[in-house]
A and B are shown apart, each in its own frame.
Chain A
Amino acid sequence: MSGHPTYQPQSAFMRWMERRLPIGGLIYSSFVVYPTPRNLNYWWTFGGILAFMLGVQIVTGVVLAMHYTPQVDFAFDSVERIMRDVNYGWLLRYLHATGASMFFLAAYIHMFRGMYYGSYKDPREVLWILGVILLLLMIITGFMGYVLPWGQMSFWAATVITNLFSAIPLVGEPIVTWLWGGYAVGNPTLNRFYSLHYLLPFVIVGVVVLHIWALHVAGQNNPTGVEPKSEEDTVAFTPYATIKDSFLLAVFCILFAWFVFYIPNFLLAPDNYIPANPAVTPTHIVPEWYYLPFYAILRAIPNKLFGVMALGASILILAFLPWLDTSKVRSARYRPLYRQFFWVFVIVCVGLGWLGGKPPEGNYVLIARIFTVYYFAFFLVILPVLGKVERTKPLPNSISESVLREGKPIGAQAPPPAGAKV
């Protein structure tokens, strides 16, 4: 990043270090002087929130693991012991269980942000795909974590989800037996899920590093979708982005804390406080809320194989988004039609989430089918066609022009951003 002061180590130790492992300089250039578009709004703070939540899950998870027993006869009791006997165990478990929900909430907002502002377009395709991989890893990790308390929902979620693979012709059944390590979900299944539930968050950390690397190569998108052209268009990461991120993180933590301290079981299924019973399926099984839209798509299709394929496709299709959207204009601000289809898409996703929690009968199935059609049509029909026919609004020449024209010359009077001028 030319034009920005390079890192000048202050202490003798950091000068010594910088010639051996220039980590100080890396942090300085990535998180202090790193130029961010001056017009970023609060929707851009969810990346930082996600990083924070990943940290929360790892810290609470590692300490839960000190008290948890991955054995079918003891798993449920060990979680109850965490709740009742372990010092602050209730807090750690509620933080971890609710934390998973908050993590997904932030991820979904982060993704809708990307879709609204066209952040997946050239040159950010790889950045976007790494994000889809992160979502997949989160889904798998969250699912395996949910199995660990070995309650009724844990057991039957494990059964139903692993059985998705039985839809594969010919090799389906052997794959399911292989996943279970037995002829039904049992102790070997619990053991391996625990092993992977411990491992995958660290794989997520690795992919997050790649995600941020790709971000820092392409640079951040911004609400106009117009790339920064001059120094006028950017401000330094610290203090501007740091403060904005911190503020929303604090607000987000209030919501998080409200769940943890006031309604900790709101997001947990009561059935999961019943120990796993391989002989009885609970009458109404539903996954965690963050899987419901995908679950609704699975159930909307009355054929096993096609249902499972639609479920997989609903996630994988996101990876192709950069090529399905044919419009050259990034931001929905300048795409009057796309903006409407986008909000319908958001409503459809939330609606599918609601339907996923309803019994699969009558009108619920009908609406779920209509929504499923829209979900796929949005990617496969609307986006490719819209790029060709939509009349977009004129783009501003630059970020600073758009900011100034909107009558809010914030940057103009503010003291020059630290480090932005040579």
Chain B
Amino acid sequence: MTTMSSAEPTRRDFLYIATASVAAFGAAATLVPLIAQMNPDASTIAAGAPIEVDLTPIADGQVIKVFWRGKPIYVNHRTKKQIEEAQNVDVAKLPDPQPDSARVKPGHDQWQVLIGICTHLGCIPIAHQGPYDGYFCPCHGSVYDTSGRIRQGPAPLNLALPPYEFLSDTKIRIG
């Protein structure tokens, strides 16, 4: 730096660069715990264990809300009419094209299980509201159909599906 005349790199230049590199690496390494501590901690992850839901008490046309990982999950016992409406849609015209069959488990058309969080900015849509008898988000007016697919409004995606499986015809496990 202060050696003005020599254009050749010196051993001192090398030492400066090496020292600065070690310091920079050390500083970067310190950031790892500082940033990682903000991610979900072990207890939060453990609390996300799967839950089981008994479907017998849910009447035809009724929607219930359960919580899994702090997220509301809608379990919707769809009526015949709602299932038909969900199936008879020109999928290609949807903002986020997906057939109804991809959003329910095979042979369980009447059970629609989805994460009740608007894909816009995270509000909870209200069930059985809006022009499609599906879900309506009060925050900025997104409208979902009975399959939870986005039909109108600022939300970009269909309501997400949680991982779940049928343990029997009347019991599911979410997670």
Interface residues of A, Cβ cutoff 8 Å to B: 156, 159-164, 166, 177-184, 186, 188, 192, 278-285, 299, 301-305, 307, 359-361
Are B123 and A304 within 8 A (Cβ)? no
8 Å CB contact of A160 from B69, B72, B123, B141: B123
Of residues 141 through 158 on chain B, the ones whose CB sits less than 8 Å from some CB of chain A are 141, 153-156
Are B141 and A360 within 8 A (Cβ)? yes
8 Å CB contact of A181 from B41, B121, B122, B155: B41
8 Å CB contact of B70 from A182, A285, A305: A182
**Size bracket, chain B contacts:** 20 to 34
Closest 6 CB pairs of A and B: A184-B70, A163-B122, A183-B69, A163-B121, A281-B123, A160-B121
| A41 CB, min distance to chain B CBs, angstroms | 41
Q: Which residue of chain A is the closest to B39 with respect to CB atoms?
A: A178
Residues of A within 8 A of B104 (CB): none
Give CA–CA (A204, B136) in the complex, Å: 40
Residues of B within 8 A of A163 (CB): 120-122
Residues of A within 8 A of B69 (CB): 182-184
A179, A182, A301 pick with most chain B CB within 10 angstroms: A182
Give CA–CA (A212, B119) in the complex, Å: 44
Residues of B within 8 A of A164 (CB): 121
Known: A183-B71, A281-B138. A177 touches B121 (CB 8 A): no
Give CA–CA (A198, B154) in the complex, Å: 34
Asked if B139 is an interface residue, CB under 8 A from chain A, the answer is yes
Residues of B within 8 A of A186 (CB): 44, 70
8 Å CB contact of A182 from B40, B121, B139: B40
| A333 CB, min distance to chain B CBs, angstroms | 42
Are A285 and B139 within 8 A (Cβ)? yes
A164, A184, A281, A282 pick with most chain B CB within 10 angstroms: A281
Are A302 and B154 within 8 A (Cβ)? yes
Residues of B within 8 A of A299 (CB): 140, 154
**Given A183-B40, A183-B70, A279-B65, 7 other A-B residues pairs in contact with their CB atoms under 8 A:** A166-B121, A166-B122, A182-B40, A278-B72, A302-B154, A304-B154, A360-B140
Residues of B within 8 A of A166 (CB): 121-122
Are B141 and A361 within 8 A (Cβ)? yes
Q: Which residue of chain B is the closest to A187 with respect to CB atoms?
A: B44
| B43 CB, min distance to chain A CBs, angstroms | 10
Asked if B15 is an interface residue, CB under 8 A from chain A, the answer is no
Give CA–CA (A280, B125) in the complex, Å: 9
Asked if B131 is an interface residue, CB under 8 A from chain A, the answer is no
Give CA–CA (A267, B9) in the complex, Å: 65
